[in-house]
A and B are shown apart, each in its own frame.
Chain A
Amino acid sequence: MARLRTRGLTKRFGGLTAVDHVDFELGDELCSLIGPNGAGKTTFFDLLTGVLEPTEGTVERRRGDTWEDVTGAPPHATAASGVHRSYQITSVFPERTVHENVRIAAQAAGSDSYTLWRNAGAFDRYVEEADDILDRVRLADRADTPARSLSHGAKRQLEVAIALAGDPDVLLLDEPNAGVSSESVDDIVALIEDVASDHAVLLVEHNMDIVMNVSDRIVVLNRGSVIADGTPEEVRDDPAVQEAYLGGYEPGAARGTDRGEDGDTAEGSA
Chain B
Amino acid sequence: MTETEATTEESWLVRYGREHVPHLLVIAFLALYPGLYTLAVGLSLPAPLGWVPDLLYAVLPRVDTMIVVLYFGLFAMSFDFVSGYTGYLSFGHAVFFGTGAYTVVLAANGLLPFVPSGTPFLLLLVLAGLLAVALAFAIGAVSFRLSGVYFAMITLGVSQVVYVFVRDWDYVGPNPKDGISVSFDLHPGAFEIGVPFVDALGLGIGKLTGDTLAIAGLELSTVEVSYYCIGLVVLVCYFAMQRVIHSPFGKVMLAIRENEERARAVGYDTYRYKLVAFAVSAFFAAVAGGLFAGYSRAVSPDETFFFLVTGDALLVSIIGGFGTLAGPLFGTWFDELLREFLSKEGTGGGLLPFLQEYLPQSVLDAVILNGMTVGEAVDTFLNGHASLYLGLLFVLFVLFVPNGLLGTVRERAGGRVSKRVAARLRSRGGTETARGTASEDD
Binding site for B on A (CB under 8 A): 49, 51, 74-77, 79-80, 84-85, 87, 91-97, 99-100, 103-105, 107-109, 112-121, 123, 143-146, 162, 165-166
Contacts and interface: CB of A to CB of B under 8 A. Distances in A.
B440 A120 contact: no
B243 A116 contact: yes
Interface stretch (B46-54, B139-147, B177-185, B252-260): B252-260
Given A91-B262, A94-B258, A144-B434, 20 more contacts: A74-B269, A76-B268, A85-B265, A93-B254, A94-B259, A95-B258, A104-B254, A105-B266, A107-B251, A107-B252, A113-B268, A114-B276, A116-B244, A117-B247, A119-B246, A120-B246, A120-B248, A146-B438, A162-B266, A166-B267
Contacts of B389: none
A97 B247 CA distance: 17
Interface in B402-442: 434-436, 438-441
Given A94-B259, A95-B258, A113-B248, A144 B438 contact: yes
Contacts of B170: none
Given A75-B265, A93-B262, A146 B439 contact: yes
Interface of B: 243-244, 246-252, 254-255, 258-259, 261-270, 273, 276, 280, 434-436, 438-441
A110 B108 CA distance: 45
Main secondary structure of the interface of B (DSSP, over half): helix
B270 A96 contact: no
A244 B151 CA distance: 45
Nearest to A268: B261
B267 A93 contact: no
A107 B248 contact: yes
B264 A104 contact: no
Contact of B265 (A49, A109, A112): A49
B244 to A, nearest CB: 5
A115 B249 contact: yes
Contacts of A87: 262, 265
Contacts of B436: 121
A24 B232 CA distance: 63
B268 A162 contact: no
A197 B436 CA distance: 33
A79 B266 contact: yes
15 contacts: A75-B265, A76-B265, A76-B267, A85-B265, A91-B261, A96-B254, A100-B251, A109-B267, A112-B248, A113-B248, A113-B268, A114-B248, A119-B246, A120-B248, A123-B248
